[in-house]
Chain A
Amino acid sequence: MSKGFANHRLTLLSLGVVACFMAVGVRLVYLQVVDRDELLRFVDKARRQIVIEHARRGTILDSRGNLLATSRSEMTVAVDAWALADYLAADKNPARRARKSAEEQTKRVTLAGLLALPVADVEKAFSPAMRPIKLEADQRDGLVDGLTKDRWVKLREGISEATYDRIEELNIRGLTAERVYRRVYPGNELAAHILGFVNKEGSAAAGVESKFDLYLKGEDGWIESEKDGARREMAQFRSREVPEKDGHDVVLTIDSVVQHMIENELKTIGAKYSPKFATIIVSDPMTGRILGMANYPSFNLNEYNKAPLDVQRNRAITDQIEPGSVFKIVAAGAALDQGLVTPLTGFDCSNPLINYKGRDLKLPKEDHEFGRLTVAEIVSHSSNRGAAQLAMLMGEQRFYDYAQKFGFGQRTGFQLGGEERGMLASPKNWDGLTITRMPMGHAVAATPLQMHMAMSAVANGGVLLRPQIIQEIREAGGKVTQTFAPERVGQVLKPSTSALLAQLLHGVVGKDGTGAGFDVPGFEIAAKTGTTQKIINGRYVTTHHVGSFVGFFPASRPEVVLTVIVDDARVPGGSNYGRAVAAPTFHRIAEQLVQYLDIKPVQPAARSLLAMTGGAR
């Protein structure tokens, strides 16, 4: 072989290599520059995916850490019948295809059992079907006939994770599932009107769930990455990742046991009296923290869709009633606070007429005929005429100012919102008789919570507090981010006046009081009965009443404020007064609270000291 030929051959080889590299280069330029956009679109569509990472909604807890609302994951199982058909069609061997088909059918029978569905329903879902779509969007299967393959047929929702694990083990072709978080309320009816609920669409609808949704819902995260042919994420190609932030936990001031106690009593009231509604509120007078708030009728939070809207209302803050004789704490408290009277100052309560500012005014009727009553007796006997005279002693403006200071006619500032303001007309809008009627709780409207907070002011030394239902907000990790301290609205009475009024209110459960027999010995119940005739068709009627019993205990060292209101109780004989329908419930709850909250008696009763010697005697 000549040297010239060898050189020529090497040159040819080099040229060939260079040509190959050039061809590769040209192809690369073509792919990377010319077709770049189209190819990127294709790759993006085929491989890129954005996965939403759902944040877990925060829990709602009571003051002792018991779960009131939490989220549980559930699976929604669906079928892509066409995926199964494609899988079977891909096998060209008829015998093997038949065997695969039989295997899948056996799995579907097991699936039907796990889903508690008839086999026929499952088989129907696995039959490939078409669904109609808009003609302009119909380009998926090559035919523009307004039909497309139905690739998502829901089989069942609300499947537990444990059941789904067993379903997954079956490895059924064409079965798809979606994980959803469902709100669950372990207590069912417990604190239903306070908690509110989250509906199936995930929207918070009422109560704490709605008002504190911003804290509870958290922030969803997302992951941008690529998927393989089997639609599995290729984690190595994650390009962006925003982690989800779980929602905060909201801790309420209510105590599950107290809440259950009052809800049980409301059920008893409901069964016994079938009232239009009833409300019970329990709170700590010193902080304004609500330990329990419940209404009758109530509903199961896990079946909120079965409850009429009317039942879902928190009537303790949305319904206005005439407070009746409970409002007498305003007249008595104001007159004592102003130093116009002492508990022993006497008033003639027998005369139906009284001269006020040069006019003879007709005083309201009494339930019983009274003669001369002291202020203490006016409170304990609930004298309408006595209360009217106390208000007249002060005059319209000063009486109105005190009513305002007690919180009537203005919202309490309840943290869940949705409350009514009540109704308290200013003196310039009063008619001639209002000064005689308002002190007995007519011509004024208040929510049960307003009445409760007014009584709370008497219990805690004369301070009107904002009711607290939220104790604190915690991050998902447990770190407390916000606490809610007691909030003072204003000073209603001097501390000495409130202590004096508390003692007068203790007289209500005394021998001659309107709440006689409802004291808890050693625990100084201080309360006020209230009975209001209802206005039907613009007139007061004598057959429909709102009965209430609002008070606190122990009178000299108040630890609990308790309100019981029963609207339109149906009692045989028509005795639906506060004393008859609300006081017994108050008494029962007070007895239970004394035990549960470990309230020490003010005057320990002399008892056998059997336990002190360990049962030796």
Chain B
Amino acid sequence: MRPPPANATINRLIALSLLLLVFSGTLGLGAVWVRQEISAIANRSRALEARIAGTERGLDEVNALVAAAVNPDALLRQNEVMRLGLVSPQEAQIRRVDGSPELRLAAKRNREIFNLASAPAGDHAPEFRHVTAALR
């Protein structure tokens, strides 16, 4: 068998080398791209973490301000500054009721609406009626 000409072997070698170069170049570029992406994502994550930490710090700050604003001493001061005149009730001012005050108030209101002055006051509100324009 006749050996292949030297030029053909060299051409094949050069072609293979070029292919290898392109392949390794692609691999290299791919690796750089991956690293770049990793870097970008890591930095984005870090920025997000910093934002979360900043928000938490802000929340702590607001919580501290709210706590300072609603502590009993501050509320009393506000009561004075705003001249609200709010005071704790004294025992003598308290009337304790056994039943449900809501039902009693509802009964009273119903009596007023339906003009049922003689209706007995009890724990249960009288049955509601449809209020029409004529009744108002």
A binds B: yes
Q: Which residues of A contact B (CB under 8 A)?
A: 3, 7, 10, 56, 66-67, 70-73, 160-161, 184, 186-190, 233-236, 238, 256-257, 260, 520-522, 591-592, 594-596, 600-601, 604, 607-616
By the criterion CB–CB under 8 Å, are A521 and B60 in contact?
A: no
A612 surroundings in chain B (CB, below 8 A): 95, 97-99, 104, 121
A600 surroundings in chain B (CB, below 8 A): 96
Whole-angstrom distance between the Cβ of A181 and the nearest chain B Cβ: 9
By the criterion CB–CB under 8 Å, are B91 and A594 in contact?
A: yes
A3 surroundings in chain B (CB, below 8 A): 6
Whole-angstrom distance between the Cβ of B102 and the nearest chain A Cβ: 10
A187 surroundings in chain B (CB, below 8 A): 67-68, 71-73
Q: Per a CB cutoff under 8 Å, which of A238, A521, A614 touches B105?
A: A614
Residue of B nearest to A70 (CB): B64
By the criterion CB–CB under 8 Å, are A611 and B42 in contact?
A: no
Q: Per a CB cutoff under 8 Å, which of B45, B64, B73, B88 touches A72?
A: B64
State whether the Cβ of B43 lies closer than 8 Å to any Cβ in chain A. Answer: yes
By the criterion CB–CB under 8 Å, are B67 and A186 in contact?
A: yes
Taken residue by residue from 66 to 77, chain B's Cβ proximity to chain A (1 for < 8 Å, 0 otherwise) reads as 111011110000
Also in contact, A521 and B10, with CB within 8 A (given A70-B63, A256-B72, A600-B96): no
Q: Per a CB cutoff under 8 Å, which of B38, B89, B98, B108 touches A613?
A: B108
A235 surroundings in chain B (CB, below 8 A): 39, 42-43, 45-46
Whole-angstrom distance between the Cβ of A115 and the nearest chain B Cβ: 19
B-side interface size class: 35 or more
By the criterion CB–CB under 8 Å, are A614 and B104 in contact?
A: yes
State whether the Cβ of B61 lies closer than 8 Å to any Cβ in chain A. Answer: yes
State whether the Cβ of B124 lies closer than 8 Å to any Cβ in chain A. Answer: no
B30 surroundings in chain A (CB, below 8 A): none
By the criterion CB–CB under 8 Å, are A260 and B61 in contact?
A: no
Beyond the given A10-B10, A66-B67, A73-B57, please list 19 additional residue pairs across the A-B interface where CB-CB is below 8 A.
A7-B6, A67-B67, A70-B60, A161-B54, A161-B61, A186-B64, A186-B68, A187-B68, A187-B72, A188-B73, A189-B73, A236-B35, A236-B43, A600-B96, A604-B96, A607-B95, A612-B97, A615-B108, A616-B111
By the criterion CB–CB under 8 Å, are B71 and A256 in contact?
A: yes
Whole-angstrom distance between the Cβ of B124 and the nearest chain A Cβ: 14
| A594–B94 CA distance with the chains assembled, in angstroms | 11
Also in contact, A190 and B71, with CB within 8 A (given A67-B63, A160-B61, A608-B95): yes
22 cross-chain CB contacts under 8 A: A7-B6, A56-B60, A66-B71, A72-B64, A186-B64, A189-B73, A190-B73, A234-B43, A236-B39, A236-B42, A591-B90, A591-B91, A592-B88, A595-B91, A596-B88, A601-B96, A610-B95, A612-B95, A613-B104, A614-B101, A614-B107, A614-B108
B45 surroundings in chain A (CB, below 8 A): 235
| A251–B21 CA distance with the chains assembled, in angstroms | 68
B111 surroundings in chain A (CB, below 8 A): 616
Residue of A nearest to B68 (CB): A186
B28 surroundings in chain A (CB, below 8 A): none
State whether the Cβ of B58 lies closer than 8 Å to any Cβ in chain A. Answer: yes
Name, among B66, B89, B104, the residue most crowded by chain A CB atoms within 10 Å (CB to CB). Answer: B104
Q: Per a CB cutoff under 8 Å, which of B60, B97, B108 touches A71?
A: B60
| A612–B107 CA distance with the chains assembled, in angstroms | 11
Whole-angstrom distance between the Cβ of A394 and the nearest chain B Cβ: 40
Residue of B nearest to A160 (CB): B61
B109 surroundings in chain A (CB, below 8 A): 614
| A56–B7 CA distance with the chains assembled, in angstroms | 74
B67 surroundings in chain A (CB, below 8 A): 66-67, 70, 186-187
Q: Per a CB cutoff under 8 Å, which of A70, A260, A607, A614 touches B72?
A: A260
By the criterion CB–CB under 8 Å, are B57 and A161 in contact?
A: yes
| A595–B46 CA distance with the chains assembled, in angstroms | 53
Also in contact, A520 and B91, with CB within 8 A (given A187-B71, A601-B96): yes
By the criterion CB–CB under 8 Å, are A611 and B101 in contact?
A: yes
| A260–B74 CA distance with the chains assembled, in angstroms | 11
Whole-angstrom distance between the Cβ of A127 and the nearest chain B Cβ: 33
Also in contact, A257 and B64, with CB within 8 A (given A161-B57, A520-B91, A601-B96): no
B96 surroundings in chain A (CB, below 8 A): 600-601, 604
Whole-angstrom distance between the Cβ of B63 and the nearest chain A Cβ: 6
Residue of A nearest to B44 (CB): A235
Residue of A nearest to B54 (CB): A161
| A235–B39 CA distance with the chains assembled, in angstroms | 7
Residue of B nearest to A261 (CB): B72
B108 surroundings in chain A (CB, below 8 A): 613-616
B73 surroundings in chain A (CB, below 8 A): 187-190, 260
Also in contact, A595 and B107, with CB within 8 A (given A10-B10, A238-B42): no
By the criterion CB–CB under 8 Å, are A613 and B121 in contact?
A: yes
Q: Per a CB cutoff under 8 Å, which of B6, B38, B57 touches A236?
A: B38
A-B pairs with the 6 shortest C-beta distances? A235-B42, A186-B67, A67-B67, A614-B108, A260-B72, A186-B68
| A105–B98 CA distance with the chains assembled, in angstroms | 75
Whole-angstrom distance between the Cβ of B73 and the nearest chain A Cβ: 6
| A161–B6 CA distance with the chains assembled, in angstroms | 77
A257 surroundings in chain B (CB, below 8 A): 72
By the criterion CB–CB under 8 Å, are A611 and B38 in contact?
A: no
B38 surroundings in chain A (CB, below 8 A): 236
Residue of B nearest to A600 (CB): B96
B91 surroundings in chain A (CB, below 8 A): 520-522, 591, 594-595
| A56–B88 CA distance with the chains assembled, in angstroms | 38
A186 surroundings in chain B (CB, below 8 A): 64, 67-68, 71
Residue of B nearest to A17 (CB): B17
| A362–B107 CA distance with the chains assembled, in angstroms | 71
Name B106-134 residues within 8 Å CB distance of A. Answer: 107-109, 111, 121
B60 surroundings in chain A (CB, below 8 A): 56, 70-73
Q: Per a CB cutoff under 8 Å, which of A67, A520, A613, A614 touches B64?
A: A67
| A308–B28 CA distance with the chains assembled, in angstroms | 70
A73 surroundings in chain B (CB, below 8 A): 57, 60-61
By the criterion CB–CB under 8 Å, are A595 and B101 in contact?
A: no
Residue of A nearest to B57 (CB): A73
